[in-house]
Amino acid sequence: MKAREYRERTLEELHQTVQDLKQDLFNLRFQHATGQLDDVTRMNQAKRNLARVKTIIREHELGIFKMLVSPDQESTAAE
């Protein structure tokens, strides 16, 4: 997935994506260690996607890029 597609997601969705990618990477490493992984390039893709998402989250923290805000977060920010 491209960075542009990740930027269209909310911050909450990105944090969930980080967890999913970490779990996926763990499973790929386990498969590689046991010799069950046929396509080793999937590990590199998972690492890159994880780094991409973490970079976008960090950009938001630094104020470089503003994330989409879910409706729940808007109501708490207005109070």
CATH number of the domain within which 31 lies: 1.10.287.310
Angle at 54 between CA 62 and CA 17, to 5 degrees: 130
In this predicted model, which residue has the larger pLDDT, 78 or 12?
A: 12
**Exposed / middle / buried, residue 42 (Cβ in 10 Å: 0-12, 13-18, 19+):** middle
| 39 belongs to a structural domain | yes
Domain range for 58: 3-70
| 61 belongs to a structural domain | yes
Q: Determine the Cα–Cα distance for residues 12 and 50; give it in Å rounded to an integer.
A: 15
| 34 belongs to a structural domain | yes
| 77 belongs to a structural domain | no
pLDDT of residue 27: 96
The overall pTM is greater than 0.85: no
Per-residue pLDDT of 28-71, as tens digits, reads: 999 999 999 999 999 999 999 999 999 999 988 888 877 655 55
| 76 belongs to a structural domain | no
| 31 belongs to a structural domain | yes
Number of compact structural domains in the chain: 1
